[in-house]
Amino acid sequence: MADAATHDRHPAREPRRGAGPGGVGKGRSERGGKGEGRRSGRAGGRAGVGRAAVGRPGVVWALPGALFFVFFAVAPMVLVLALAFTDWDGIGTPSWTGMSNWSRLWDDPETHQAIWLSLVLTVLTWVFQTPLALLLGVWAAGRQRNRAVLSAIFFLPLLGSSVALALVWKSLLDPNFGLIADIGPALGFADGDLLGDSKGAFGAILFVTAWQFIPLHTLIYQGGARAIPRSLYDAAAIDGAGTVRQFFSITLPQLRNTIVTSSVIMVVGALTFFDTVLILTKGGPGTDTTIVPYLMYKNGFQAFDLGYASAVATILVVVATTVSLLLVRLTGFAAMRSTREGM
């Protein structure tokens, strides 16, 4: 009987330790709780390490660019601002003059004229270049067979330096042996001297800068137009919208972000433009094309009055920054998070 009883007691039927009411669940839950605790601890540790690892490289990677900006942008601007309160010829020791440079700048009619001409050149540059670049960019973004070739041709004027291109145009506009010598009188310029006329010289500067930089903005608009979803045009075509209606209802709103970007680049470039004026007109005839950058050059490197030139440079930075911020603010560019928010 004892043997039979012993035989009937199979190990599989024996209750495990702690397997009473709730015993098995308790044991497993304890082990599971400990395991989950260990896993959650490891996960939390990994998450903490991950967050720290993500945060640290961002600062490290931004450090070289930040240092470059500080040393080559912020520091020179601070130095120029300090020199604006001194009298310095570039060789000796600067002497403190207080507000004398600023008083002179306020009373100097040539400075007032230079600021006005810079603003006029900036406005005319935007008015002249933006429509042409926009239309060329949208056209080049279409289904053209030779789109890559067209893009390369558009980019050619940007391959040369502003000085080299200005020298080429100065030769073409020479009243003695240039092309303008033949067509100048027909345009109303005496002896074909386009650069010797006040309006002609200003128009030549405007034309040469547009010829050089319209290709850049054309490529910008081409990239923006190619990013517009084709489905928008397909839906508009189904609704019966023609090419002109699609341009004003789809293309222009979608290019709002691109237009602002191009405009900021254009405005800052026009306000700081110098090379073409130096080569073509040297601020002439008289002071009719003396814009702020050339006035700064003339005072700093011809008259060696670097204190006054620094005051002019400070005004130029303030004007360029103010115009750019106003442009961004008024267009709502800063609030946009996507290139498709112009719809």
Q: Can you tell me the mean pLDDT for 79-95?
A: 93
Q: Can you tell me the mean pLDDT for 68-75?
A: 93
Give which of 132, 105, 129, 162 is closest to 319, Cα–Cα. Answer: 105
CB 298 within 8 A of CB 158: no
pLDDT at 8 over 90: no
pLDDT on residue 295: 95
The more confident residue out of 190 and 17 is 190
Lowest mean pLDDT among 139-143, 303-307, 324-328: 139-143
Question: CA–CA separation, 111 vs 115, rounded Å?
Answer: 6
What one-character-per-residue DSSP string does 173-236 give?
T-TTTSTHHHHTGGGT-GGG-STTSHHHHHHHHHHHHHHHHHHHHHHHHHHHHHTS-HHHHHHH
Q: Which CATH number among 3.40.1160.10, 3.40.50.10160, 3.40.50.11030, 1.10.3720.10 corresponds to the domain 99-335?
A: 1.10.3720.10
Question: CA–CA separation, 332 vs 35, rounded Å?
Answer: 54
pLDDT on residue 59: 82
User: Which residues make Cβ contacts (< 8 Å) with residue 132, sequence separation at least 6?
Assistant: 210, 214
Give which of 202, 184, 188 is closest to 280, Cα–Cα. Answer: 202
pLDDT at 22 over 50: no
Chain mean pLDDT for the chain: 81
pLDDT at 34 over 80: no
Q: In 3-state terms, the chain is what percent helix, strand and coil (to 5)?
A: 75, 0, 25
For the chain, domain boundaries: 23-83, 99-335
pLDDT on residue 176: 83
* Tens-digit pLDDT profile for residues 88-109: 998 989 999 999 999 999 999 9
Give which of 149, 277, 129 is closest to 216, Cα–Cα. Answer: 129
Query: pTM (2 decimals)?
Result: 0.76
pLDDT at 335 over 80: no
